[in-house]
Amino acid sequence: MSELNFGAKLTALRLEKGLTQEALAEALDISNKTVSKWETGFSTPDLEMLVRIAEYFEVSADHLLGIEKKEQIDIAKAIDREFDGLDRCSAVLKTFDLNNNIFLSAFGRMGDYSNERSVIPEVRHSMPRCVICNENMYNFMVNSEYLNLSCSLYKNKSDFAILEIDEALCRISELFAFLSDKVALGVCRLVHSESFPVSFTAKYTASLLNADEKRVTDILNKACSIGLCIKQTAHMKDGELDVYSSSGEGRILFLIALACEHTCGVSANDYAFGGPAKLIGGTKK
């Protein structure tokens, strides 16, 4: 039995069912550590337990072992079948459901940490910039030499009521004000770079940006308030030293990438379908 294949299969099945390792262990009457060892490939179940797992997830033992013959499925055709016969509203809901499940299934296969750290999609020459939009959904994708981005935005039950709350508006304004500063954008570039250390000082950061240390210190302190960094004070022999830490924040990099595409990208999409992005419902009186 391939421990790695079995572990990946088990993790995917567990996540598809929305279970934690603890919940699966309880259902199979085993310990949490046993499930963890199976999923990480340190051990595998015996034949009797393998049958129990297959019955629990309603799959074949061959599927668990990864030895069944895999049918080559055309992705476009498989997705098209999912939408066959649906009206527009049902298609929007199906899109949201598929996005959720795609990420869950993919996450279950991300435990294989190989030496290949950088995964970069090939540039898409056919329709590299697409937008699909109606009053229920906005979907945008760009796949070019400079940016790989895919995002979807849907209506919500509150009609984006957060945009009417003063405290939320103040925080949003603070974030955009931070990102409007060129030196702050330089800091964002550094903290999201693999070559930049997780822990750093304002002096070191300023030297890389060729910027004033006091200004960089102010920016880093602001970065702490928006969740991009944290600050700790180190007590040195010659005094105290502020040390900042950051492993990056994907949402902030996402905002920067969207802004970059919106302001620096081409003025037209290679594929565009739909109407205006009126995702906020009518005013309730």
pLDDT tens-digit readout, 235-284: 877 888 999 999 999 999 999 999 999 998 887 788 888 788 899 987 65
Choose one of 49, 65, 81: the last residue of a domain. Answer: 65
Question: Does 32 or 202 have the greater pLDDT score?
Answer: 202
**Angstrom distance (rounded) from CA 202 to CA 189:** 15
Residue 178 within any structural domain of the chain: yes
In a domain, 207, yes or no: yes
165 plus 46 within the same structural domain: no
Would you tell me the crossing angle of helices 3-16 and 32-40 to the nearest 10 degrees?
A: 120
Pairing of strands 129-134, 271-274: parallel
Looking at per-residue pLDDT, the higher value among 250 and 44 belongs to 250
Asked whether the CA dihedral 153, 156, 159, 165 is positive or negative, the reply is negative
Question: Would you state the pLDDT for residue 256?
Answer: 96
Token pair for 212: 């004033």
Give the domain-ending residue among 45, 65, 85. Answer: 65
CATH number at residue 281: 1.10.10.10
* Residue that has been written with the tokens 């390792």 in this structure: 21
Q: Is residue 13 part of a domain?
A: yes
Beta-carbon contacts of 253 under 8 Å, excluding residues fewer than 6 positions away, are 188, 192
Is residue 260 packed enough to be buried (19+ CB in 10 Å), middle (13-18) or exposed (0-12)? middle
Give me the mean pLDDT over the 78-98 stretch. Answer: 89
Q: Is residue 201 part of a domain?
A: yes
Question: Who wins on pLDDT, 109 or 121?
Answer: 121
Whether the Cβ atoms of residue 108 and residue 11 lie closer than 8 Å to each other? yes
Residue 70: inside a domain, yes or no? no
Tokens at residue 222, please? 């602001």
57 and 163 housed in the same domain? no
- Does 53 score more than 80 pLDDT? yes
Cβ count near 57 (within 10 Å): 19
Secondary structure (DSSP) of 47-113: HHHHHHHHHHHT--HHHHHT-SPPP---HHHHHHHHHTT--HHHHHHHHHHHHHHHHHHHHTTTT--
Average pLDDT over residues 197-202: 96
Question: Is the Cβ–Cβ distance between 230 and 244 less than 8 Å?
Answer: yes
Query: In terms of pLDDT, which residue wins out, 9 or 94?
Result: 94
Assessment of whether the complete model's pTM goes beyond 0.75: no
Q: What is the pLDDT of residue 285?
A: 46
Assigned domain for 115 exists:
no
Closest Cα to residue 260, out of 154, 188, 162, 157? 188
Q: What is the mean pLDDT of residues 101-125?
A: 71
Q: What is the pLDDT of residue 111?
A: 60
Number of domains making up the chain = 2
Question: Which CATH number is 23's domain given?
Answer: 1.10.260.40
Least confident range of 69-73, 105-109, 242-246: 69-73
What lies within 8 Å, CB to CB, of 11 at 6+ separation is 39, 108, 109, 111
The answer to whether position 40 is within a domain reads yes
Examine residue 10 and state whether it is found in any structural domain, yes or no.
yes
The mean predicted confidence, pLDDT, of the chain is 87
**Domain span including residue 32:** 3-65
